[in-house]
Amino acid sequence: MSRGFLNGGVVTTGLAVACLGAAIGVHVDRERRYPARRQVTESLLYIPSGEALKRMALSYDALLADVYWIRAVQHFGGTRLAKRAIKSYDLLYPLLDITTTLDPQFNIAYRFGAIFLSEVYPNGPGKPDLAVKLLQKGFAANPRRWEYLHDIGFVYYWWVRDFQAASTWFARASQVPGAPEWLAGTAARTLAVGGDRQSARAMWQQIYETSEIAYMKDNARFYLGQLQAMDDLESLNAALARVEALEGHPPTSWSALAARGWLRRVPPVDPSGWPYQVNRETGRAELSPKSEFYPLPADMPAGTPSAPPGASTQAGS
């Protein structure tokens, strides 16, 4: 190889690298000068049939199911966190349906999928009926999985507030071979004292303690925190109402309660550590908008009537 050829090669390579560097520079400059407007593109389901996809996937259907599962998680998470006025979760059920058609044993897709579908708008599509449909599909494919029937019961209990149906599904779950013994008790308790907060707490506690899936544990911890915050607010509001009755005007801060020694901690904090606030107009205790548990759902179960005001850890009156 001649020296001239080598030199020529080095020059050509140098020229190519320089051209590439210049092209990148022009591209960066263009992006800086003319920033492209962010395009909001609707996600598409190019092939809506899970059965058709299963055939096209040849023997790689489980891998394709993973891809669709990732799409479902991204669609749910992306829509939930998006700062759009109107959020559309329209693709969530079709994506989950395709995932579970491609891989009928995809346990998490049924269980997480039902949680995603049940979440009330705007945190989710608010479609408990579709959650039940997905779980029923899961049980049809895996008749030994009592968890799916339990989850259907829970959807009826927590999201639909149909305690009769919830109890029926818990009872059905308890009859599946291998189901835990506590399910029969849950079915009976749901029928007896369905809507109270105490039984809701017991239910979430059960899920928290028995679930081996980190996401479901976190979910249960979140709702236990919300229930605790509701208990706290109830007792704090009872104490604030007593102060208003004594002083003749609504209190505007925690100092009135603190002065009477009715607070164990000033300011009182929610389970995530954020201080509760006193609304200056209404004189009522509220959850901080910065709290992990904000907002509290409007139709949460009522507190147990027998629980005395101030029984919580926050207000000690």
Partner 1 sequence: MSPGTVMRVARAVFKESVRDRVLYNLVGFAILLIGASYLIGQLTAGQDVKIIKDLGLAAMSVFGLFIAIFIGIGLVSKEVEKRSVYSLLAKPVRRSELVVGKYVGLVLTVLVNLAVMAVVVYAVLGYMDWKEIPEVKRAWEAPATDPRLLIAMFLIFFELMLVIAIALFFSTFSSPMLSAAFTFGLFVAGQFSADLKNFEMAVESKAAATIARGLYYILPNFAVFDVKSAVVHGQPLAAAVIANSVIYGSLYISALVLLAVVIFSRRDFK
Residues that bind partner 1 (CB under 8 A): 55, 58-63, 65-66, 69-70, 73-74, 103, 105, 107-108, 112, 212-215, 217
254: helix, strand or coil: coil
Min dist CB 183 to partner 1, Å, is 19
Spell out the residues 6+ positions from residue 114 whose beta carbon is closer than 8 angstroms to its own.
131, 132, 134, 135, 151, 152, 155
Beta carbons within 10 angstroms of residue 68's beta carbon? 24
Min dist CB 292 to partner 1, Å, is 18
Min dist CB 73 to partner 1, Å, is 5
Q: Which is nearer to partner 1, 178 or 289 (CB)?
A: 178
Contact predicate 315/308, CB 8 Å: no
Min dist CB 77 to partner 1, Å, is 9
> Hey, what are 2's tokens?
């001649």
Residue owning tokens 């908008």: 289
Q: Which is nearer to partner 1, 103 or 231 (CB)?
A: 103
Asked if the peptide bond before residue 295 counts as cis, ω within 30 degrees of 0, the response is yes
Q: Give the whole-angstrom CA distance, residue 170 versus residue 188.
A: 9
The two counts, helices (H) then strands (E), for the chain are 12, 2
Q: Give the whole-angstrom CA distance, residue 62 versus residue 77.
A: 22
Min dist CB 70 to partner 1, Å, is 5
Q: Which is nearer to partner 1, 75 or 201 (CB)?
A: 75
Q: Which is nearer to partner 1, 214 or 245 (CB)?
A: 214
Spell out the residues 6+ positions from residue 187 whose beta carbon is closer than 8 angstroms to its own.
153, 167, 168, 170, 171, 174
Min dist CB 100 to partner 1, Å, is 13
315: helix, strand or coil: strand
Q: Which is nearer to partner 1, 22 or 56 (CB)?
A: 56
263: helix, strand or coil: strand
> Hey, what are 210's tokens?
């028995």
Min dist CB 139 to partner 1, Å, is 16
Q: Which is nearer to partner 1, 95 or 240 (CB)?
A: 95
Kind of pairing, strands 277-278 and 285-286?
Answer: antiparallel
Min dist CB 215 to partner 1, Å, is 5
Buried b (16+ CB within 10 A) or exposed e, 9-30: eeeeeeeeeeeeeeeeeeeeee
Beta carbons within 10 angstroms of residue 55's beta carbon? 9
